[in-house]
Chain A
């Protein structure tokens, strides 16, 4: 069975600083994808970044980057130069290759403080 654990229910960061959100997961599959989704207050879920498990290179999207440690089953999200618009719930999710659904963690509520 898949599990995704986000151990930080809430975090805060000063504007322009860097913050790292943690995520660990468990899967018996070798091929899978990992995702970070952002859900701003009262707005829809937006894909932030995705990582393919067979790729060793960490994914990067502008100010967002991941630290993917496959052996440790860890997938943390680093947000650099935090902006007020980054305030949101962040969900880590996994999708086994060939499966047809995303499996989500319980989320981390991030607040960027001006």
Chain B
């Protein structure tokens, strides 16, 4: 299967710990997006990359959040000093330059902060 993959699928951590999630986009998709989805809500945009460049960040992306896409392929999203309010599903999506309007989503990483 060559869809978007995310790892881990579930993460439980204690408040104050750091966590890192990984996203592997569809092969040759230049754009990669991160969204956060809390219970009962639609996904909210966090940030996006075109190749290795991070071109946009939402106000939701506080200083404790950092995202990278070092070689323009996979991406990581790190949350430092986690808080209970960070508990959510973190979704990754990718799109190609020829069809940037259509984003394909991964299964998400569900984070629970105790």
Q: Identify the A interface with B (CB < 8 A).
A: 4, 33, 37, 43-47, 50, 91, 93, 95, 97, 100-107
Contact = CB atoms under 8 A, between A and B. Distances in A.
B107 A101 contact: no
A103 B40 CA distance: 15
Contact of B102 (A44, A47, A105): A47
A44 B48 contact: no
B65 interface: no
Contacts of A4: 42
B106 A44 contact: yes
Interface of B is mostly: strand
Nearest to A32: B101
A95 to B, nearest CB: 6
Contacts of B55: 100
Contacts of B56: 100-101
A105 B42 contact: yes
Interface in B98-113: 100-108
A37 B108 CA distance: 15
Nearest to B55: A100
Contact of B107 (A33, A44, A100, A107): A44
A102 B45 contact: yes
B40 A106 contact: yes
Given A43-B107, A101-B58, A107-B42, 10 more contacts: A44-B4, A44-B105, A45-B93, A50-B101, A91-B42, A91-B43, A97-B101, A100-B100, A101-B56, A104-B44
